[in-house]
Amino acid sequence: MKNQKKFIGIGTFLLEGADTYTCVSSALTTGYRLVDTASVYENEREVGKAIEDSGISRESIFVSTKLFAKRKGYKETIEECKESLKRLGLSYLDIYFIHWMPRTYEDLLDTWRGMEYLYENGYCKAIGVCNITLYYLDKLLKDAKIPPMFCQIEVHPFLQQEVFIEYCRANHIEVIGYGLFAKGLVFENETLKVLAQKHHTTVANLILSWALKKGIIPLVKSKSVNRIKTNFTDNFEMSAELFSDIRNLNDGLRVYRDPENNPYV
Looking at the structure of the chain, the number of domains it has is 1
Q: What is the pLDDT of residue 2?
A: 38
Q: Which of 21, 32, 41, 136 is catalytic?
A: 41
Q: Active site includes 264?
A: no
Q: What is the pLDDT of residue 263?
A: 62
Q: What is the pLDDT of residue 4?
A: 44
**Domain presence at residue 261:** no
**Domain presence at residue 108:** yes
**Domain presence at residue 260:** no
**Domain presence at residue 264:** no
Q: What is the pLDDT of residue 264?
A: 58
Distance CA 186, CA 192 (A): 7
Q: How confident is the model at residue 174 (pLDDT cuts 50, 70, 90)?
A: very high
240 lies in which domain range?
4-247
Domain of residue 107, CATH code:
3.20.20.100
**Domain presence at residue 191:** yes
Q: What is the pLDDT of residue 142?
A: 97
**Domain presence at residue 259:** no
**Domain presence at residue 253:** no
pLDDT, one tens digit per residue, over 31-56 is 999 999 999 999 999 999 999 999 99
Of residues 265 and 4, the one with the higher pLDDT is 265
**Domain presence at residue 265:** no
Cβ atoms of 26 and 232 closer than 8 Å: no
- Half-sphere exposure (CA, 13 Å, Cβ side) for 116? 15
| Cα R_g (the chain), whole angstroms | 18
